[in-house]
Amino acid sequence: MKNKKIIYIIGIALFVITTLVLVVTSHNSKSFEIYTTSGSKAEDYAKKHNIKYEYVTDSEIDSFTEKVEHYSYNIYGDGIEISKYDGISEELVLPAVLDGKYVRSIAKDIFKDTKVKKIVLPFSLKNLVEDDFKNIELVCYNTDLCKKLKDNKNLKVTILNDSDSYYYDATDIPFEYNIVGEEIEIAKYTGSLASFIIPKSIDGYEVTSVKLDISKDIKSLYIPSSVKNITLNDLNSGYNSLFWTILGLDLVILVLFIIFTGIFPYKTNKETFNSTPSIVVSTVYLLLMYGYSIYANSNQYNIKNVLLVLVITSIVYILLSFALMRAKKNIETYDEKVAKADTYVKDTLELLEELDIDTYDSKTKKLYEEVKDLIKYSDPISNDATKELEKEIQSRIKEAKDDLDYWKKTKSLIEKRNRLCKNTK
């Protein structure tokens, strides 16, 4: 009983330790991933707060770099006229489409009091006031408008080759933000995408601060190197559904451990020894499952995959435990038979010891010793087929005499009995 209590205490202690580790890792683990460049503030933040992160390579950086520019515009028929720009950017890539319609024209003087020095015009543009762009470098696709602008000696115009391309500045941004001086602080994500990009700038104002609540639907975000201040509140970390699922399964695992180690008696050293395989298997099962639980929770594994692993492993453990129980029962049954059968070997040896063989001649004494050894190393398990022979053997030993043929016959009966034991197993 004392051994059983120790096993229970070990199991419960492991459960308590695992639960404490789950609590700690639930608060430290994050459910999302950060994309950023090497050496950025975002990389440092991810390392410090135990957030998964991945580097964006130099060849990928252009597709991750977003500039957002806001324009006021008017709709005329099936086209758009850009009517106002209030940003501070020096370079702009005007969009070809706004509100689902092509940008066809640019209103007069909208860049007059801005810092704009260079503009990439969209291929869709048909009309603009040429005099407004005397001090602005224009880059455009090989369209009729672009050729006309190129002919104006007062303008600086570059015509793009067919292989050249520009990323249009984004015009819609799913964020709420604050302007502090000439810098932007992102305050809230209002979009619905699972993955999104923090823009490098908005209307020319550099994005340097990000303070966001990360909901359970957000899986990843890109943070540019311009961002120096980061605060991300993961609303999905802590005691989420994965935590409670794992904790519940860990409790079931503890119950299984107690059941399959507690059903065995531990009153004697022999009973404890026979139960050792089950204790070892149960302890290994407990350690493996609790170790996996901690790892799965800290890495926020898919809840279905976690359930699958824990359930399948528990089923295998249950089947193995039943197999060990059956094996233990067979061993105990065999031990009981041995214990009962031991009386034949013991009683027969006692009869041999009682004989006075001092008067026997040397040959008979030698045969006596052979019979004694044969009995000593005989199979101790008797059966119905051997009982009559055993009685005859013991009867002959009781009536033994100094007769070589007599002992040869006795030895022959013992050998016959042993052959029967072997054949009837």
Is there a single domain that holds both residue 243 and residue 325?
yes
Distance CA 40, CA 54 (A): 12
Which span out of 49-53, 185-189, 330-334 was modeled with the highest average pLDDT?
A: 185-189
- pLDDT level of residue 21 (50, 70, 90 thresholds): confident
pLDDT tens profile 297-337: 777 677 788 889 889 998 998 898 888 888 877 777 776 76
227/78 same-domain check: no
How far apart are alpha carbons 42 and 400 in whole angstroms?
99
Residue 52, C-beta contacts closer than 8 angstroms, at least 6 positions apart? 30, 32, 33, 34, 46
Residue 12 parent element (H or E): helix 2-28
Query: Do 245 and 311 share a domain, yes or no?
Result: yes
Between CA 5 and CA 407 the distance in angstroms is 57
Q: What is the rounded CA–CA span in Å between residue 414 and residue 425?
A: 17
In a domain, 337, yes or no: no
98 bridge partner residues? 101
H-state helical runs in 299-361: 303-354
Distance, in Å, from the CA atom of 285 to the CA atom of 320, rounded to the nearest integer, reads 11
Element (H, E) at 284: helix 276-298
Domain-embedded: residue 164: no
Partnered with residue 102 across adjacent β-strands are 79, 97
Res. 176 pLDDT band, cuts 50 70 90: very high
The three-point CA angle 257-263-264 to 5° equals 110
Which sign does the torsion angle of CA 100, 104, 108, 110 carry?
positive
Residue 178 structure tokens: 């604050």
Rounded distance between C-alpha atoms, residue 385 and residue 367, angstroms: 26
Residues 48 and 81 in one domain: no
Q: Is residue 271 domain-shared with residue 321, that is, in the same domain? A: yes
Measured from the Cβ of residue 102, the count of other Cβ atoms closer than 10 Å reads 16
Do 101 and 51 fall into the same domain?
no
pLDDT tens digit sequence for 248-288:
888 988 888 888 776 655 555 556 566 778 788 888 888 99
> Which domain covers residue 59, as residue numbers?
30-63+170-234
What's phi and psi for 75, nearest 5 deg? -100, 125
Handedness of CA 39, 40, 43, 49 (dihedral sign): positive
Burial of 420 (0-12, 13-18, 19+ CB in 10 A): middle
Same domain for 58 and 205?
yes
In 3D space, the residue among 389, 391, 378, 382 whose CA is nearest the CA of residue 351 turns out to be: 391
Q: Rounded to the nearest 5°, which phi and psi values hold at 135? A: -105, 15
**Mean pLDDT, rounded, for 361-390:** 86
- pLDDT value of residue 167: 72
d(CA 177, CA 172): 13
Number of alpha carbons in the 13 Å side-chain half-sphere of residue 200: 14
Residue 371 domain-assigned (yes or no): yes
Helix (H) or strand (E) holding 232: strand 229-234
In a domain, 251, yes or no: yes
Q: Are 148 and 126 in contact (CB under 8 A)?
A: no
End-of-domain residue from the set 96, 128, 159: 159
Q: Among 380, 382, 417, which residue's Cα sits nearest to residue 397?
A: 417
**Token code pair at residue 55:** 């580097």
Say if 185 falls within a structural domain: yes
Reported as a single tens digit per residue, the pLDDT across 93-149 is 999 999 889 999 999 999 998 999 999 999 999 999 999 999 999 999 999 999 999
Is 350 inside any structural domain? no
Mark whether 88 and 107 lie in a shared domain: yes
Query: Are 119 and 94 within 8 A, CB to CB?
Result: yes
Residues 58 and 188 placed together within one structural domain of the fold: yes
pLDDT score recorded for residue 271:
60
Residue at 381 is within a domain: yes
193 and 140 part of one domain? no
Please tell me the pTM assigned to this model: 0.49
CATH of the domain at 141: 3.80.10.10
Domain count, the chain: 4
Residue 90 phi/psi, 5° resolution?
A: -95, -20
Residue 19 has pLDDT above 90, yes or no: no
Domain-ending residue, one of 234, 250, 266: 234
Residue 348 belongs to a domain: no
Return left, alpha or beta for 300; rule: phi > 0 is left, psi -120 to 50 is alpha, else beta.
left
Look at 384 and 135; give whichever has higher pLDDT. Answer: 135
Which token pair is 225?
Answer: 């190197």
Arithmetic mean of pLDDT, 155-166 = 86
pLDDT at 12: 86
pLDDT at residue 340 in the model: 60
Domain boundary among 129, 159, 189: 159
Mean pLDDT of 11-17: 86
